[in-house]
Structure 1
Amino acid sequence: MQSAPEPHRGGHGLGPHVVGRRVVVRRLVPGETGPSGGPAMTDVLGTCLRWSNGECVVQPEDGPAVVIPLSLVVAGKPVPPRTSPRLRVSPRECQLRALALWPDIVTEPLGDWLLRDSATSTARRANSVMAFGPAGVPDAYERVVAHYERPVANVLPDSPEDALFRDHGWVTEGHEADTVFMMASSSRVVRGLPSGLTAATIEPAGPGLVRAVVDDVAVGFAAYADEWVGFRGLEVAPTQRGLGLALAVMAALAEWGAEQGATTAYLQVLGDNVAARRLYEPMGFAPHHSYRYLTPG
């Protein structure tokens, strides 16, 4: 014989189907009076562990689980999972942390903008102004133009800074897609890599920077700083692609980062690079923000 359905107050969208999901539950507090003179109520936010035997059990992020008799449930609903702490980091902080990938980079503040120069790298990230948010100083645009022989601006899409440079005739460099800054849990990256890959050799490449190589046909770089590990420069010889060498390089770099104590991993890839994103997404990498490079038209 089927058991009777669990009793609950109508109109709140809760039930056995929310077990395992994040929910908010409003409940009556017996014996207490609310500010308006009516019954007192309180909200519980957390993961629903159980909905049975006339009870709803909710596990908040902190503290013990809360057992709520269904007769006291007034309202409630499933809510989206809480955003990972790493995804709550600002784009500006992400970009500042990613400077570790260029150990020789020289930076100079321009108000809240940042002038970046490298004597050894031609990468745009190492030779451009990071203009995320207002500069907060006069003549910032003119000073950028004067600073660089070949000016490049790193901006967030459709931001006031994007509009500022475009108003001066700047255009997207190469008319390419925006770059996507992707992040993941470092341990998730390691778990997401298959076993049995070709072994890659780790070599020092600068302060806090290493490279992984496979027989001079595949290479990639990683840098560690403050519990973050970043990856760049993953390349495989055209004749050797499709053999799992990119995964072998990533495996070696990710394991190296985990050994250093990294909890967060990041990399940057062009948004229209479908092959690269297919490589990285199974490792847990998810988009954090996009940015673009502008140059004088």
Structure 2
Amino acid sequence: MSLPTIRTIEEASLNAWPARQQLVDDGWLIRFHDGYTRRANSVNPLYPSAASEAELLKRVAKWERFYAERGRPAIFKITPLVQPLHLDAFLAERGYCYEAPTGVRIRSLAEPLTPPDTLPDGHAVVESALSDAWLGSYTTFSATPPETLAPMRAILENIAPACCFVTQSVGGVPVASGLGVREGPLFGLYDIVTSPTQRGKGYGVHLLHTLLAWARENGASHAYLAVMDDNAPARRLYDKWGFVEVYTYWYRVKEL
């Protein structure tokens, strides 16, 4: 996949997950959101930089101080876009740990979706904005720690592009939830989770169908998502839905 296309996906994913504080430093995007998720609390080298090689140490140290002053570790997101190209090796030599290797996958939405088998007594609620009901289901299914609820809500309430919050229920009981965010032709999938007591029953398939059908109806041509390498069940599900890995990323983390 070309670097401009990767950059477009990365930009869409950043817009879909807004951080409370955001700064630009010569091609690097620095984000902070009270420590909730690496995605919203990391340095993202997205664009070519005019900084010299001699300035790299000063730049890295500057943002290490920025996060340390806020009580957080310095985190860099390493994608094929990183500038300078040896940034990952530089951070490793500086003691940064390698964390959360992740694959970014896409699939076309050009062809009509094949409906899954009928779900007896199944019902999907589709909402354009965050609701307490959706948030309650998601936090229960994902065992979200109480202290992260406020920063999570702040992100989900401030997404600027069009949103699709879906709760899949069976017999009136929520069993799965997920979020889709459409920006132009791209539709990103986030927070896809099934109740731990209901996994392996195909509810995730119905949830994905509802999300992708909404995306097609609202003008998206491609869907994308990120799935961590160690999440085998999710990888199998996305394989079945035709999502193809197009690039990878990981994080470099320097603990306090």
Common fold: TM-score over 0.5: yes
The question of 1:127 aligning with 2:26 is answered no
Equivalent residue, structure 2, for 1:233 = 191
- Provide the rounded CA distance (Å) in 2 between the counterparts of 1:187 and 1:247: 19
> What residue in structure 1 maps to residue 165 of structure 2?
211
C-alpha distance after superposition, 1:62-104 (max 9, x if no partner): xxxxxxxxxxxxxxxxxxxxxxxxx434433321111232245
Distance 2:18 2:123 in 1: 26
Distance 1:270 1:192, change over 3 A: farther
Residue by residue over 1:217-272, the C-alpha shift from the partner in whole angstroms, topping out at 9 and shown as x without a partner, is 31111101111100011111111111211112111111111121000110000123
Equivalent position SS for 1:191: coil
The answer on whether the counterparts of 2:113 and 2:213 sit within 8 Å (CA) in structure 1 is no
Q: Counterpart in 2 of 1:196?
A: 118
Measure, in 1, the Cα distance between the counterparts of 2:125 and 2:60: 44
1:93/1:194 Cα in 2 relative to 1: closer, same or farther (>3 Å)? same
State how far apart, in whole Å, the 1-side matches of 2:61 and 2:188 are.
Answer: 32
2:193–2:204 CA contact under 8 A, matched in 1:
yes
Alignment of 1:35-46 (within 5 A): none
| Cα distance in 2 for residues equivalent to 1:260 and 1:275 | 28
Matched, 1:167 2:93: yes
8 Å CA contact retained: 2:182, 2:215: yes
Return the alpha-carbon distance in structure 2 between the equivalents of residues 279 and 193 of structure 1.
15
Partners of 2:213 and 2:60 in 1: CA distance = 42
1:259 correspondence with 2:241? no
- Looking at secondary structure, tell me which structure has more strand per residue: 1
Q: % of aligned pairs identical?
A: 28
Name the structure, 1 or 2, with higher relative contact order (CA <8 Å, separation 6+).
Answer: 2
- How far 1:132 moved relative to its partner? 4.6
CA contact (8 A) 1:100 1:224 kept: no
How many Å apart are 1:108 and its aligned residue? 1.8
In 2: Cα distance, 1:111 partner to 1:255 partner: 39
Select the residue among 168, 179, 182 that pairs with 2:105: 182
Q: Distance in 2 between matches of 1:193 and 1:155?
A: 37
> Structure 2: where are the runs of 5+ without partners?
131-156
Query: Does 1:113 pair with 2:28?
Result: yes
In structure 2, relative to structure 1, the CA distance for the partners of 1:193 and 1:182 (3 Å cut) is farther
Residue number among 13, 33, 53 corresponding to 1:98 in the alignment: 13
- RMSD of aligned residue pairs (Cα, Å): 2.4
Residue correspondences, number: 206
TM-score (norm 1): 0.63
- Greater Rg by CA: 1
Aligned letter for 2:165? Answer: R
Say if 1:130 and 1:155, in contact at 8 Å, map to a contact too: yes
Secondary structure of 2:177's aligned partner:
strand
Counterparts of 2:97 and 2:12, CA distance in 1: 27
Question: Which amino acid is the alignment partner of residue 277 of structure 1?
Answer: R
* 1:116/1:128 contact within 8 Å kept: yes
**Matched residues in 2 for 1:193 and 1:212: separation?**
17
In structure 2, C-alpha distance between the alignment counterparts of 1:168 and 1:132, rounded to whole Å? 21
**Aligned counterpart, 1:153:** 76
**Contact conserved, 2:19 with 2:41, CA < 8 A, in 1?**
no
CA contact (8 A) 1:228 1:265 kept: yes
- The amino acid of 2:164's aligned partner reads V
Say which SS state the counterpart of residue 199 (structure 1) adopts.
Answer: strand
Distance 2:114 2:93 in 1: 44
In the TM superposition, residue 156 of structure 1 has moved relative to its aligned partner by 3.0
| 2:8 counterpart SS class | helix
Alignment map for 1:11-160 (pairs within 5 Å): 87-88=1-2, 89-103=4-18, 106-118=21-33, 122-132=36-46, 135-137=49-51, 138=55, 139-148=58-67, 149=70, 150=72, 151-156=74-79, 159-160=85-86
TM-aligned CA deviation for residue 168 of structure 1: 1.2
* Structure 1 segments unaligned to the other structure (5+ residues): 1-86
CA distance in 2, matches of 1:284, 1:295: 32
Tell me if structure 2 keeps the 8 A contact 1:116–1:126.
yes
